[in-house]
Chain A
Amino acid sequence: MRSFSSRYLLAVPALAGSLALVASRPTAPTVAPDPNNAGLKLPAGFGALVVAETGGKARHLAVTPQGVIYVKLNKVKDGKGILELRPQANGKATVAGGFGNYGGTGMYEKNGYLYASSDHAVYRYKLDAKGGVTNPSQPELLVRGLKVGSQHESKSIVLDNADNLYVNIGAYANACQEQDRTRGSKGIPNCPILDSAGGIWQFKASQANQTYKTGTRYATGLRNVVGLDWNQQDNELFVMQHGRDQLSDNWPELFNEKQSAQLPAECMYAVKKGDNAGWPYLYYDPQQKKKMLGPEYGGDGKKEATGNYIDPAAAYPAHMAPNGLLFYTGNMFPAKYRNGAFIAFHGSWNRAPEPQAGYYVVFQPFVNGKPSGQWEVFADNFSGSAAKTASGRADHRPCGLAQGPDGSLYVSDDSKGTIYRIVYNAKK
């Protein structure tokens, strides 16, 4: 009896101590990378861990100031389209629940609200002081009635600092042909899709029941944007466009398979209100560094496009599908990463029969709000091997990016639903 009670008494302060440690540092748990860095290849000094295996098609994600992770699923799983992941002391997280009976892509957190999108609409949830959602079954419906076709369905979202919400509405076509993706089919003049898709629309971030009528077409001529972010340095919207497909498939007399695999560039654009990036009339040739007239509109691979179209801010290899864009504003990573852009390249399919490419997260240095210098592969081997990248049979496909309160970089995978966390542990 005596020995039991003295052991018990000894255990109390130990338990209390560990509780106090957890309670005092809820947003900065001890983060040790997995021994294999979650299978990723990273620059020296960085490590990675698997935060959670969600088993869902994890599209974009957001991390609250309290470290709660919200993941938008492309397809509802067990009745849930948004998963809530609660942080653990070891830096990982557990799936604590979920809500939102709709699939989609957009997930963004700002100023105490969680924003989410289906393929038709944008919703808003109120967050409490612990980062929990207060109205999981009754979100505010901010925007409704957005067009969706059988491709480029994602309604990716981001906010600026003036209570505006930006929504991608992807063009439901490859190049606005009379017959979509059909060999030799011509482009429709004054592409009618652009009235309601193929661009970024601006809405108010705190107003219910908005529609096309109350929104503004902020930028047009953007085929499909999945990754987008607001640059805080020059207060400007940056988007990553998915470039057009099938130059050789549809115009074999003008483009061979190799050219088709390397054209056009996946482009980053800095967009201002009223900008036109030129889809479907042009594509960007990264070798010639020129905007070329699309073959659907009389182009032949040599004619340049004419018209008042913006130039890309940066260009990346073709067809790699940039699905996430994040300007890094944290302090955990070395100084060169601050205010630069991370881009999640989901990985290509439209390079076949040439080898596929991508399936990695890229870093693009920025200076004063503009891309500056050569991009580099930051986190690689999501696919599992070089052979899996080449065949397109990737184990994981990076999609969404988010920054944690401690400056960790979170990456979602919409193939198996793995959530990664990349940390920097070396001395800066």
Chain B
Amino acid sequence: MTIKYLVLALGLAGGALSLQAQHRPAPKKAATKADPAMAASLTRGAVVYKNVCITCHQADGGGVPNMNPPLIKTTYVLGDKARLAHIVLAGLAEPIEINGDDYKQHMPARPTSPTSRWPTCSPTCAIASATRPAPCR
């Protein structure tokens, strides 16, 4: 479930694309699987995850011991959403400890190169999207 949440966040960031100006507040009702917009976000997120995240964080989101932190069962993903969004965008340079294990490898910031596989999306929108489980449009 938690990896799904991250994938969703990535999907929302991706969904922003050129639509960031039309960003609107989240609906009060929680999105569900049946929600087509949610499903589309999950699909976009899965694409981004496979392109950008999977090498280090692995297919199951479990990370790599002593190097790349897990994205499952951790407050880094389940906790403060703004912090999560900030790490996704700005990377993480300092070592962190999760459940007694140290993870030291540097995570790069979201690249800006033209060859990037990342969707173009303003940081503000991505943070807003990630902090709010609704499509960014």
A interface residues with partner B (beta carbon < 8 Å): 57, 74-75, 150-151, 153, 179-185, 245-246, 249, 252-253, 349-350, 352-353, 391-393, 397, 415
Looking at the complex, which one of B56, B104, B107, B111 makes contact with A183 (CB distance below 8 Å)? B111
Give the dominant DSSP class at B's interface: loop
User: Can you list 30 A-B contacts (CB < 8 A)?
Assistant: A151-B67, A151-B104, A179-B111, A180-B108, A181-B106, A181-B107, A182-B109, A183-B108, A183-B111, A183-B113, A183-B117, A184-B111, A184-B115, A185-B111, A185-B113, A246-B55, A253-B115, A349-B55, A349-B58, A349-B67, A349-B68, A352-B58, A353-B54, A353-B55, A392-B58, A392-B64, A393-B60, A393-B62, A397-B65, A415-B65
Contacts of B60 in A (CB 8 A): 391, 393
Minimum CB–CB distance from A373 to chain B (whole Å) comes to 33
Q: How many A-B residue pairs have CB under 8 A?
A: 70
Nearest first, the 10 closest Cβ-Cβ pairs linking A and B are A184-B113, A182-B108, A349-B64, A150-B104, A183-B111, A184-B115, A352-B55, A181-B108, A249-B55, A352-B54
Contacts of A397 in B (CB 8 A): 65
Contacts of A252 in B (CB 8 A): 115, 117
Does B25 make an interface contact (CB < 8 A)? no
Give the dominant DSSP class at A's interface: loop
B interface residues with partner A (beta carbon < 8 Å): 50, 52, 54-56, 58-60, 62, 64-68, 93-95, 102, 104-109, 111, 113-117
Contacts of A245 in B (CB 8 A): 55
Contacts of A179 in B (CB 8 A): 108-109, 111
A183 close to B115 (CB less than 8 A): yes
Contacts of B65 in A (CB 8 A): 397, 415
Minimum CB–CB distance from A381 to chain B (whole Å) comes to 18
| Most chain B CB inside 10 Å of its own CB: which residue of A181, A252, A393 | A181
The answer to whether residues A151 and B58 also contact, given A252-B117, A392-B64 and a CB cut-off of 8 A, is: no
